[in-house]
Structure formats: C-alpha cells, structure tokens
Amino acid sequence: MFFGDARAISPLIRGTKHEAVHAPRLLEVDDPLRATLRGGVDSSMHAAIRAIAGDNADAAVSAGSTGGLMALSRHLIGTLPGIRRPAIVKTLAGEGERRFRMLDLGANIGVGPAQLHQFALMGCAAASADGVQEPAVALLNIGSELRKGPRSVRAAANLLADDARLRYAGYIEPDRMFGSSLDVVVVDGYVGNIALKAAEGAVRMAHYLLGRELANAAASGQVVERLQRVRDAYNPQRYNGAALLGLNKVVVKSHGGADRQGFANAVAQAIQALSAALVAQIAARA
C-alpha cells in the first residue's frame, strides 16, 4: 500500500496489485507532537503506522520526519516486552565486502549503561538476522584504553563484557570502525547521529573528488572503470534505510533525499527483516 495523495499515486501504480490510500497531508517537522500522536494531524505517516498497528500491513517504510516516525511507532505499535527505548540502526560499508551495523543513530540522547547494553543485544540480533554468526560488538569511544571515555560508556563496557550472550570486542575509535572486523558498533544516539553525518559528509566529498578526476581523466578506460567502481561502492544510496529496532513491527526510515534506487533499498531492507523474523529475534535476545 502507498499512503499519500491518491490522485498522484494511482496513475503510477495502475495495472499493479498495489493500493493507493488517500492521505495527502504530510507530517511536517514543526507539527505539534501531542496533536500528531492523538491523530489531530491526519498525515500519511500516521495512516501508514495505523495500518501496521491494525495488522493491515506487516512493515512500513517512510522518508518523513525521523522524530515523528519514532513517536508514532512507539505510540501506535509499541515496543517489545523488556525494551525500554527503540533504537535507530543502520548498516554501513566497511573494508572489502564487510558490513557493520551502528546504533543508536539519533532516537535516544543521554542514555545510561543499561540502555547501551540493550542496544548491543538488539544490534547483534539484527546482525544475526543478516546471517552473521556470533557477531562481534564494540562500544564507540574516544580511545581504546579501558579508562577512556565518559563514565556511562565505561560502565556499559563492564555490562557487555560480563554478558555471555555477547562477543564483546572492547572499544572502537571512530576513525577505525570502517576498517575493523566488527559487526555491531554501539553508541549514544547524540554521538551516533553526529558520527554518521560526519561520515556521510566525508563520502560526499570523496564522491566530488572522484567525480572531478573522472571528468578530467586522461587515463585508460580500465583505470576510469576502476575509479567508477570505487565511487559506486560507497554510494550512500546503496545503504539507504535505517531500521527502528525494539518495536513490535518492522519500521524502516529512508533518507529524505533518497533517489529511486535508495528508496528501493530501504524497502528491500524491510522485506529482509520480515523474512528473517527480526522482531522475534530481538524479542528472544532482549
């Protein structure tokens, strides 16, 4: 089902099995949260999450407001038993073919050790759902020494190290996480969001530099082709989509600036989460 202006959507899906649900109102970032949760703002996002809550859909993908999506999902869908707060997780590209998951990326600010521990459990469940056996998990910190970092991170390190369900690898510094052998990186939502946006900015700069060199390349076609592969390998659209872990249903947040391929990747992520029974895996671990 597609939620939005049915007059615009219907011609695009004519002849398919898909349905357009007329909900033309967009949820704006400055819409009052209380009115949004109570249905006073009858937005397309509210209608979509309501459909999941009523078991009329299995998953939702939205490119709208992250805060609104998280609030509506918690309010209408609810969290799994034992989950205090949902977290935003995203899969990122590492060296070679390796990928790792990072959470939280903005849903929670100023969390304590127990919450970071729970993020680690949920992140490992997400990695296992992707087929990773015994995922390695680390805490993002400003250094690898045991005494580095804020007290909450150091306390969380003790919880992770003492949990036999986790393969805890210690601290990881931001400049090393893309080249590590880790599967899950755990961080507070405030720091995680800054780290992600800084990485995205670095990728955009690298794309610009590679694009400029390709445009002026006097090298052989083979060299140009290889440079294009490097550029495409780190195209953010390939890794678009961030799941909201800890909810009773599958909800995936797409970047607002995603193109067709990027949004399709977010939809594919939701389908993969359903196929792997990600919600059940998180419930079993947490």
222-249 pLDDT tens trace: 566 666 666 666 666 777 899 999 999 9
CA proximity to 272, closest of 241, 237, 232: 241
Question: Mind listing the pLDDT tens digit for each residue in 141-183?
Answer: 998 888 888 999 999 999 999 999 999 999 999 989 988 899 9
**Residues 111-117, mean pLDDT to the nearest whole number:** 96
pLDDT at 205: 83
**Stretch 1-26: mean pLDDT:** 92
pTM of the model: 0.86
Name residue 245's beta-bridge partners. 87
Q: Please tell me the predicted confidence (pLDDT) of residue 236.
A: 66
- pLDDT value at position 31? 76
> Please, what are the domains in the chain?
1-78 (no CATH), 79-285 (3.40.718.10)
Answer yes or no: is pLDDT of 219 > 60.
no
Q: How does pLDDT run across 48-90, given as a tens digit for each residue?
A: 999 999 999 999 999 998 988 999 999 999 999 999 889 999 9
- As a whole number, the mean pLDDT across the chain is 89
pLDDT of amino acid 120: 97
The pLDDT tens digits of the residues spanning 176-199 come to 998 889 999 999 999 999 999 898
Least confident of 20-29, 187-196, 232-241, 262-271: 232-241
Residue 200 has pLDDT above 60, yes or no: yes
The span from the CA of 68 to the CA of 19, in Å, is 24
d(CA 11, CA 120): 44
Lowest mean pLDDT among 8-12, 54-58, 90-94: 90-94
Q: What confidence score (pLDDT) does residue 216 get?
A: 66
Q: What DSSP element (H or E) covers 115? A: helix 113-129
- pLDDT at position 221, please? 57
Across the range 277-282, mean pLDDT stands at 95
